[in-house]
Amino acid sequence: MLPSFTPTHGLLLAVLSQLSTRLSCSSMANLDIPKIAIYFGTKTRYEEVNPHLQRDLLSVNTSVLRPPPTERCSPVHLTAVIRHGSRYPTAKNIRRILKLNQLVRTEASGPSRSSAAWLQDIRSRWEPWYTEDMDGQLVTKGRDDLHHLARRLATLFPSLLSEENMRKRRIRFISSSKHRCVSSVEAFQEGLQQHWRHHDGLPEFSHEVDDQLMRFFERCRSYVEGVENNRTALLEVEKFKHGEEMEGVRKKMAEKLGLPLDSLTPDLVEAAFFLCSYELSIKSVHSPWCFLFDESDAKVLEYKSDLKQYWKRSHGHMISSLSSCPLFHHIFRTLDKAGRPRRSTEASPEPASILVGHAETLLPLLSLLGLYKDQTPPTAINYHSQHGRSFRSGRIVPYAANLLLVLYDCSGGPRLQMLINEMPLQFPGLREDAPLYRDVRATYRHLLDGCNFATECEGQGSHGVGGRRPNTEL
Ligand SMILES: *[C@@H]1O[C@H](CO)[C@@H](O)[C@H](O)[C@H]1NC(C)=O
Ligand SMILES: *[C@@H]1O[C@H](CO)[C@@H](O)[C@H](O)[C@H]1NC(C)=O
């Protein structure tokens, strides 16, 4: 599995940066990052969203925590919903990558006398090193993603993600059953351990696996039947895939490679784009495949991915967000408990709850919370009016994406702050960074009193069997 690709001039294999990450956990400044790396959608690196991390992976800016300066506040609970880190392609995409490589080697003949170095690199130097058994597993860089995130959060919340809380097993860890998520939880825990410079003396870490919470989407029948397995529900994606903009990208790529146009399907165009993203996110390499795309091509391919996320996992269909009701209620029950007034003799609340899942976990939940909902939905025909959209999956759910909910105990009552990928984001309709918790609850009243999984997903009556009790008032 060692890279069999020999770097040439413009291609910077960032061995240096990987080494320095491992040695000092700090700098990636030497890496030559493709300009198109911010358009990789859900395959975007976390460092593209938070560019200051490209200089120092452990840098933390405490000014992102914003309880009102006029009140005395201290954080009492952190809930973090985190996506796994960088991973290998899934088996399906690996098969496409191998097919693309085969095609370029055997069929590319045309006007390819181009002496472009990158093209020669693809043809003669680049070796496909992907094998199907890698299928979506977490890579070393993905472990680093979670490791560094844990250390930054421990710096940001020293009283919550503290050594003592860890020692007393007061921090809760829940994961999806998928290998890449379990590996991510473990990497997060190791990051904490290293933060306290403890390699022994702490109890064994543990976590719970809970797919009902973290993989609700596959258990929601109305969602699976109505969206996931329903071609009509994703019509916009299909139309765009064969539309004018994608056709333009496909033609350009076929010309550059000297391939007959009809041998290069839209799926293979996408495979080349993904390949560029994987070589960067897995091996920190600026791959020769990246030179197939300029910025305008990348924006089209980004839009294609965003359309898919929007119509499959987000606001496109209500049921997608409603399928996350179990996770929504779990989070608010945890916050209710943590914020409840208690006598000094009572045990203090759970300081932190770390929930690790997928982009498919986060997107429906963020949509349910009413975030990233633009006035005009993205469709197959309005690409040109969507440049300013807020729904950009690369900024919302890159690898190691996270939703942080910070509950503060303030002199005027409990307050809640939300951060996405360590950046503050306001709750819809609330103007403060850390509004009163009761105002947040009022905003989501309709969901707290409803949002019943059995009703929404199984079509049972609202008082049906298996429904969850509504949250009790604080
Ligand atoms: C921290 O972030 C604030 C804005 O939130 C910015 O003004 C400040 O310069 C940053 N500080 C550092 C050390 O980066
Ligand atoms: C499939 O999706 C379309 C469009 O959203 C919808 O009208 C239709 O009812 C869905 N079919 C099923 C079986 O849910």
- Of 221, 230, 312, the residue with max ligand 2 atoms within 8 A of its CB, to mutate for a pocket test, comes to 230
Overall average pLDDT of the 250-273 stretch: 95
State the closest ligand 2 atom to the C-alpha of 317, by its place in the atom list counted from 1.
5
The pLDDT assigned to 24 comes to: 40
Please tell me the predicted confidence (pLDDT) of residue 30: 64
For 134-166, write each residue's pLDDT tens digit.
Answer: 999 999 999 999 999 999 999 999 999 999 999
Please tell me if the CB atom of residue 230 comes closer than 6 angstroms to any atom of ligand 2.
yes
How many CA atoms within 13 Å lie on the side-chain side of 219? 14
Question: Could you tell me the distance, in angstroms and rounded to a whole number, from the CA of residue 186 to the centre of ligand 2?
Answer: 40
Query: Does position 17 have pLDDT exceeding 60, yes or no?
Result: no
- Return the closest-CA partner of residue 24 out of 46, 57, 49: 57
Ligand 1 within 6 A of CB of 62: no
For 417: left if phi > 0, alpha if psi spans -120 to 50, otherwise beta; the answer is beta
CA distance 172 to 179: 19
Distance, in Å, from the CA atom of 391 to the CA atom of 372, rounded to the nearest integer, reads 5
Residue 39 to residue 296: CA distance in whole angstroms:
10
Confidence at residue 348, expressed as pLDDT on a 0 to 100 scale: 75
Higher pLDDT, 57 or 464: 57
pLDDT at 106: 84
232 CB less than 6 Å from ligand 2? yes
pLDDT band of 237, cuts 50, 70, 90: very high
Q: What is the pLDDT of residue 113?
A: 55
Token pair for 452: 């019943």
Q: How confident is the model at residue 220 (pLDDT cuts 50, 70, 90)?
A: very high
Whether the per-residue pLDDT at 314 is higher than 70: the answer is yes
379 Cα–ligand 2 center, Å: 17
Pocket test of ligand 1: the residue of 61, 152, 417, 421 to mutate, having most ligand atoms within 8 Å of its CB, is 61
Closest protein CA for atom 12 of ligand 2: 226
Residues 295, 65: Cα–Cα separation, whole Å: 34
The rounded distance, in Å, linking the Cα atoms of 20 and 30 is: 10
**450/464 Cα distance (integer angstroms):** 12
Give strand pairing partners of 387. Answer: none
Nearest ligand to residue 423 Cα: 1
Of 461 and 411, more confident:
411
Given a contact cutoff of 8 angstroms between Cβ atoms, the answer to whether 101 and 259 are in contact is: no
pTM over the 0.75 mark: yes
Question: Whose structure tokens read 């509504």?
Answer: 470
Residue 202 has pLDDT above 70, yes or no: no
Give the pLDDT score at 102.
Answer: 92
- β-bridge mates for residue 354, sequence order: 80, 173
pLDDT of 111 strictly over 90: no
pLDDT at residue 7 above 50? Answer: no
- Residue 49 Cα, ligand 1 centroid: separation in angstroms? 16
Please provide the DSSP assignment of 207-251 as one string.
-EE-HHHHSGGGG-HHHIIIIIT-GGGGHHHHHHHTSHHHHHHHH
Q: Which atom of ligand 2 approaches the CA of 222 most closely?
A: 14
Tell whether ligand 1 has an atom less than 6 A from the beta carbon of residue 63: yes
**Contact, 470 vs 448, CB < 8 A?**
yes
Q: Are 451 and 457 in contact (CB under 8 A)?
A: no
At 203, the pLDDT band (50, 70, 90 cuts) reads low
61 CA from centroid of ligand 1 (Å): 6
402-410/423-424 β-pairing = unpaired
Report the C-alpha gap between 473 and 341 in whole angstroms: 13
How high is the pLDDT of residue 472? 40
So what's the pLDDT on residue 70? 94
Sorting pLDDT into bands at 50, 70 and 90, what band is 107? confident
For the chain, percent of residues with pLDDT exceeding 70: 87
Answer whether 115 contacts ligand 1 (Cβ < 6 A): no
Look at residues 285, 255, 292 and name the one whose alpha carbon lies nearest to residue 271: 292
Is 60 exceeded by the pLDDT of residue 15?
no
- Measure the CA–CA gap between 136 and 42, rounded to whole angstroms: 13
- Kindly state the average pLDDT of the residues 33-51: 97
Q: Which long-range contacts (CB under 8 A, 24 or more apart) does 457-461 make?
A: 457/219, 457/220, 457/221, 457/222, 457/223, 457/319, 457/322, 457/323, 458/221, 458/222, 459/221, 459/222
Region 365-392: mean pLDDT is 98
**Predicted local distance difference test score (pLDDT) of residue 10:** 34
Distance CA 429, CA 346 (A): 35
113 or 192: whose pLDDT is higher? 192
Q: Mean pLDDT throughout 279-302?
A: 96
CA distance 184 to 188: 6
Question: What is the reported pLDDT for 469?
Answer: 45
- Tell me the two tokens of residue 428: 């819809």
Could you identify the atom of ligand 1 that is nearest to the CA of residue 64?
5
Return the domain boundaries, the chain: 7-87+138-228+314-341+348-458
Tens digits of per-residue pLDDT, 387-427?
A: 999 999 999 999 999 999 999 999 999 999 999 999 999 99
* Ligand 2 pocket residue status of 235, Cβ below 6 Å: no
Question: What digits encode the pLDDT tens for the residues 116-136?
Answer: 788 888 888 898 999 999 999
Cβ neighbors of 89 (< 8 A, separation 6 or more) are 97, 130, 134, 136, 274, 278
| Closest C-alpha to ligand 2, atom 9 | 226
459 C-beta closer than 6 A to ligand 2: no
Q: Tell me the pLDDT tens digit for each residue of 84-102.
A: 999 999 999 999 999 999 9
Give me ligand 2 centre to Cα 394, in Å. 28
170 closest CA partner among 81, 84, 78: 78
Task: Give me the chain's average pLDDT, please.
Answer: 89
Residue 439 predicted with pLDDT over 50: yes
Ligand nearest to the CA of 230: 2
Determine whether 110 is exposed, middle or buried from the number of CB atoms within 10 Å of its CB (0-12, 13-18, 19+): middle
Residue 345: the pLDDT is 65
pLDDT at 463: 46
The atom number, within ligand 1, closest to the CA of 61 reads: 1
The 10s digit of each residue's pLDDT in 317-361 is: 999 999 999 999 999 999 999 988 776 667 778 999 999 999 999
If you ran DSSP here, which 8-state letter would residue 404 be given?
E
- Residue 244 has phi, psi (to 5 degrees) of -55, -50
The Å distance, Cα 233 to ligand 2 centre, comes to 6
> Rounded to an integer, what distance in angstroms lies between the CA atom of residue 393 and that of residue 195?
30
Active-site positions read: 84
The architecture (CATH level 2) of 7-87+138-228+314-341+348-458 comes to 3-Layer(aba) Sandwich (3.40)
Rounded CA-CA distance 253/259 in Å is 8
Take atom 13 of ligand 1 and give the residue whose Cα is closest.
61
CA of 317 to the centre of ligand 1 (A): 38
CA of 225 to the centre of ligand 2 (A): 8
- CA 50 – CA 58 distance, rounded (Å): 12
Residue 35: how many other CB atoms lie within 10 Å = 11
Which DSSP symbol is given to 138? B
Q: What angle do CA 248, 249, 252 make, to 5 degrees?
A: 85
Q: Which residue among 52, 62, 63, 64 is best mutated to probe the pocket of ligand 1, counting the most ligand atoms within 8 A of its Cβ?
A: 63
Query: What is the rounded distance in angstroms from the CA atom of residue 302 to the CA atom of residue 288?
Result: 19
Compute the distance between CA of residue 111 and CA of residue 219 in angstroms, rounded to an integer.
51
Residue scoring higher pLDDT (1 or 192): 192
